[in-house]
Structure 1
Amino acid sequence: MKKALFIIITVLLIDQISKIYIKTNFLYGEDVVVFDWFRIHFIENNGMAWGAEFGGKAGKLFLTIFRLFAIGGIGYWLYSSIKKEAHTILIVAISLIFAGAMGNIIDSVFYGVIFDTPANATATLFAEKPYGELFYGKVVDMLYFPIWSGDLPSWIPIWGGKPFTFFNAIFNVADAAISIAVGLLIVFNKKAFPKDNNE
């Protein structure tokens, strides 16, 4: 449990510190080139994968409430796995998933009431006139890895001859934690979920 808590707290701190720094020091859409293949690019979204949106305000509220229930389920899964003395890889993966989900929930629940969104200026933490309401905050993303950009060969069906960027998703530390956890579970599937010898 101590190791799991350490992972969760560490990921949450890195995630929230990076998001608060970006919001209070970057203009929306600002792009800083670190390397040709890595940039810091500040955007926000309502919290769905790839920035997708549905259902307007009601959809956003449903998504936030669903995440709150989901984090309860993930927390129980972590507690149960620790109690059953599951493999360390499974404990680490669940801890990363929990931390990642919690990091984006914090944005969704609280950012709308603690940040403003001034035009052509950086956001203010604990602003007098925040941009939204409780449960209606936007998730901050900033990590962008455009490893390759160019036109696809014309012989490729549908997308041939069109501009393409790999990898074009912009994400945050919380998203990265969840992706790493999924990767661990795929690569070390047999260790994370060993078959019962009695089966």
Structure 2
Amino acid sequence: MSLKKASFIIILVLLIDQISKIYIKTNFVLGEYVEVFSWFKILFIENEGAAWGTKISDIIPFVSDEAGKLALTVFRLLAICGIGYWLYNSIQTRGTKILILAQALIFAGALGNIIDSVFYGLIFDESYAQVATLFAETPYSSLFHGKVVDMLYFPLIDTVWPEWMPWLGGKSLRFFEPVFNIADTAISVGVGVLLVFNKKAFPQDDKS
């Protein structure tokens, strides 16, 4: 796959990701949702941490939320540089189409969430009890301290455990609970492609 085709995939994913996030941010109050189907909702939340909302301060108690957020954003920037180099090297060495497609999706998804983390704190105001304003006069945070916008929610199962079950009886049973975005989807699909089509993505490793 050529650099031009990989760039097209990256730009397309980024556009869909950022347009959807900006639309949600400027039309929804935090926590507001629209039920598309019983198993699919558009639910606006903001993620201040890593996957599933995990914060560095949750793992290392003596690290403040602000310092943890900054460290996470810096780590993401370093990671995207590594992924970008990996993608560029694969294109230059004529890697397989499957490999470059997966890399382009992972790169686009990572970059999409980095844009939120780096810039959203500067260009939006708060979404608590109000719809946020783009290029607000009083932004909610600063450079590198933005929150990632999530909105895709698939509660495929939303019920309670049977009363007769020990410990779990009567408690909520919900699957799939995490809320994510287009960027997360691109990363997951890219990783999934590498796992499922591993031998096609790395034919030289297979020969060796």
Return the TM-score normalized by structure 2. 0.90
Opposite residue 89 of structure 1, the aligned amino acid is I
Contact 1:78 1:94 in 2 (8 A): yes
Show CA shifts across 1:105-153 (max 9, x none). 0000000000001542200000000000000000000000001112235
Opposite residue 33 of structure 1, the aligned amino acid is E
Asked if 1:169 corresponds to 2:155, the answer is: no
Cα distance in structure 2, aligned partners of 1:197 and 1:27:
50
Show CA shifts across 1:24-49 (max 9, x none). 00011001000111100000011311
Asked if 1:88 corresponds to 2:97, the answer is: yes
Opposite residue 28 of structure 2, the aligned amino acid is F
Q: 1:104 — aligned with what?
A: 113
SS in 2 for 1:142: strand
Contact 1:47 1:108 in 2 (8 A): no
Q: 2:203 — aligned with what?
A: 194
Identity, % of aligned positions? 65
Counterpart of 1:4 (choices 3, 6, 11) is 6
Change (3 A) 1:151 1:68: same
Contact 1:47 1:104 in 2 (8 A): no
Cα distance in structure 2, aligned partners of 1:97 and 1:59:
23
Cα distance in structure 2, aligned partners of 1:156 and 1:24:
44
Matching of residues 1-199 of structure 1 within 5 Å: 1-55=3-57, 56-117=65-126, 119-153=128-162, 159=168, 162-196=171-205, 199=208
Contact 2:162 2:170 in 1 (8 A): yes
Cα distance in structure 1, aligned partners of 2:171 and 2:128:
34
- Structure 1: which 4+ aligned runs deviate by more than 2 Å? 151-162, 195-199
Change (3 A) 1:160 1:105: same
Return the TM-score normalized by structure 1. 0.94
Cα distance in structure 1, aligned partners of 2:141 and 2:39:
34
Contact 2:10 2:104 in 1 (8 A): yes
Cα distance in structure 2, aligned partners of 1:196 and 1:54:
35
Cα distance in structure 2, aligned partners of 1:108 and 1:198:
41
Opposite residue 88 of structure 1, the aligned amino acid is K
Q: 2:61 — aligned with what?
A: none
Contact 2:199 2:206 in 1 (8 A): no
SS in 2 for 1:195: helix
1:86 shift after superposition:
1.0
Cα distance in structure 2, aligned partners of 1:16 and 1:184:
23
